Structure formats: structure tokens, C-alpha cells
Amino acid sequence: MLTSRQKLILKAIIEAYVKDAEPVGSKYLTHLPFLDFSSATLRYDMAALEDLGYLEKTHTSSGRIPSELGYRYYVEHLVTRDEDVQESYPLIDEIFFKNKMAREKAIEEAISLLSNLTNYTAMAIGPNAQKNLIKRIDFIPITDLEAVILIVTDQGHVQHQHIHVPEDRRIDDVKKVIKTLDDLLRDRSISEANQILKNTLAKKEIDSFMEYQNQIIESFINAFSRFSEDNFYLSGMTNIFTQPEFHNVKRIKSFVDMLDRRDLLKLIGDGDSLSIKFASDLHMIPMENCTVISIPYRISESEHGTIAVVGPTRMEYNKVIPLIEYIAVNLAKLYKK
């Protein structure tokens, strides 16, 4: 159990280290108005915090730096939200006001702004449509040999798929097949539709209409797969490389490769509230000295997305947390309009 003085000292050291990336000594702390204690007292408590695992001593300085345990205690008990962040809220409001009817554009611009305001890497996962219900499948001929199929869900999402008709077939044959699929899949969820199309019963129903039914089925499976994929937005991939922790070329390459593979998506918090994950939670070499802050935004009981910020463990938590919370609230409102 930390004393009130030890909490103040730990908070002061972390916030000073976040700002300058330099070890903090007792001399610096004596100049802080809320730490009106002698150098000896401060050194004693700093040594105690080190013994408890909240601080670490570097080999090149007599000062201390926070450990992961220290950061974890800080975000759980000591961090306060920076009120100056509210000055950025009108910029966020403007994005959502001008993009009321363009949700994807709003997410993209909000993530870009979040990255610029924090100078870290920001990302978002859009809502997953697997549980959406198919309301109709429309067939739109373009030429005698080509058509577009529109798949519309109960949430207003639309997916299109091009169909090419063999020269020895009539486009009316294709239209009959699509009508069969519409009857078969209407009011089914996207995930159910995928299973139905892979089911031999569905193939048999189509078989009487066309010899190339497999092509049709595969086209629909591809369309439904795109529905199922999470919409992914990324901004400021290189921002993190300006931090002193990321000057190693191999680490930079590993980090970029990880983002390209979207491995980080597996590590973003999937709970109902703000999640802060440190290196020991992430178990990935490129994420050493890194933290991921994420928060969900809920659209309905079955749909939700997530926004996240990736930065050094030495992150401005008091700035990032209120920004990410504010954007999440606005994203949820945007989808409910």
C-alpha cells in the first residue's frame, strides 16, 4: 500500500518522464510546489518505490524511471484527464457534423485527427456485419453478358458483386438463380447465409437452373465474406518512430510488418470499457516498451466497433484517454442517427 506522499512522487516522476524521456532525480522533485519535502525524504521514498517495483534505476543516471508496474498503477489509480484536451473537442465535433451521412469518412477523419493530436499511431475497427439480416438481393443487368447483384441488409449496408454470364447462357437464367437465392437467404444473417451457400442443399436447388452454379455460389460467398470482414482504419503508422524507444531499425520493420498483417487487432481490448494493455499483456517483440489504449463504441446489441491508440509505454495517458473516450461517444451517436 503506497502512502499519499509516495503516490504524489510516483505521479510526478511518471509525468516528468513522459514529457522529457529523461530519468528523474530528487533535485527535480524538490522544485515541484506540491512536493515540499526535503531531498532526503524524497530519496527515501524513491528508494522505497524502487524496492516495490514501481521505479527502476538506470545505469547512466542517479535518477529513476517508471517500470511497467509503475505505469500500470498510474493508469489505474493516479492519472487525471487533461482539461486542456477539451480545446480539441470542437475539431472532433466538426468532423462528425460534416459527415453525418458518411460514417466511413467520419471514422477515417476522426482517426487521422486522433493520430495528429496525440502524435501516436491510431486505428479503428468498424462494426462487424456478420449478424446483420439480409433483406433483399437485387439483380441489375448491365449488358447481355454482365450483371450486378446488390445485397442489402437490415442495417442499410450494401454489398455488390459482378456476375459474368457465359455466352451459351441467357441472362434470364441468371435472374432465376438470383431469385432462388433471394428466397433462400432473405431474413437470414450474413453468417447463416455463408453456411447455407456452402451447404449441398443450396447447390442442388440451383443445379436445375444452371451448370455453372458453383461460380454463382463462390461469388456470393466472396460478397458475404467482405461483409464479415472488419472495416479497418489506420493513421500515423510512422508517428511512433519519432519516439526514442523506436530508433532501432529492426524494431521498426517488425512493427510495420505487424501492422500490415493486422496482428494487433487480436490484442485490442474486446470488453465493454476502456482497456490499457502493456508490453507484458501483448506478448509480442515489436510491442516492447509499447502500450495499446482501446475503447469500444456500441451501435446496437449485436454491433460494435473499437478505436485504439498505439504508443510508447511513456505515453501521455492524461491526454490520450479523454480524446479516445470523446471520439468513441461521438462514433456511437453517429451510427444511431
Q: Identify the CATH number of the domain in which residue 36 sits.
A: 1.10.10.10
201 and 147 within one domain: yes
Question: What pLDDT score was predicted for residue 45?
Answer: 96
Mean pLDDT of the chain: 82
End-to-end CA gap in the chain: 47
- Number of folded domains in the chain? 3
Residue 52 has pLDDT above 90, yes or no: yes
Q: For the segment 209-220, what is each residue's pLDDT rounded down to a tens digit?
A: 445 556 666 677
109 and 92 within one domain: yes
Q: Which of 207, 228, 249 is the last residue of a domain?
A: 228
Q: Identify the CATH number of the domain in which residue 167 sits.
A: 3.30.390.60
282 and 263 within one domain: yes
305 phi, psi to nearest 5 deg: -125, 180
Give the residue among 330, 313, 299 at the shortest CA–CA distance from 155: 299
Give the residue among 297, 303, 270, 304 at the shortest CA–CA distance from 133: 303
Q: How far apart are CA 163 and CA 313, in angstroms?
A: 50
Question: What pLDDT score was predicted for residue 149?
Answer: 80
143 and 214 within one domain: yes
DSSP codes joined into one string, 284-318: -GGGTTEEEEEEEEESSSS-EEEEEEEEESS--HH
Pairing of strands 304-312, 121-125: antiparallel
165 and 298 within one domain: no
156 phi, psi to nearest 5 deg: 85, 5
53 and 25 within one domain: yes
Radius of gyration of the chain (CA): 27
What's the mean pLDDT in 158-181?
Answer: 77
CB 39 within 8 A of CB 27: yes
Q: How far apart are CA 250 and CA 230, in angstroms?
A: 29
Question: What pLDDT score was predicted for residue 320?
Answer: 96
Q: For the segment 227-263, what is each residue's pLDDT rounded down to a tens digit?
A: 655 577 888 888 878 888 777 777 777 777 777 766 7
259 and 212 within one domain: no
H-helix segments, the chain: 4-20, 26-30, 39-51, 68-73, 89-98, 103-118, 171-185, 190-198, 200-207, 213-228, 249-260, 279-282, 317-336
Q: How far apart are CA 196 and CA 221, in angstroms?
A: 10
Specify the pTM.
0.72
What's the mean pLDDT in 80-89?
Answer: 92
329 and 239 within one domain: yes
Q: How far apart are CA 130 and CA 224, in angstroms?
A: 8
Beta partners for 277?
A: 292
Q: Which of 181, 212, 228 is the last residue of a domain?
A: 228
236 and 110 within one domain: yes
Give percent above pLDDT 90 in the chain.
Answer: 36
144 and 27 within one domain: no
Question: What pLDDT score was predicted for residue 120?
Answer: 93
Q: Is 75 helix (H, G, I), strand (E, B) or coil?
A: helix
> Which domain range does residue 218 map to?
134-228
Q: Identify the CATH number of the domain in which residue 267 sits.
A: 3.30.450.40
Q: Which of 180, 211, 228 is the last residue of a domain?
A: 228
289 and 266 within one domain: yes
Q: How far apart are CA 258 and CA 247, in angstroms?
A: 17
47 and 110 within one domain: no
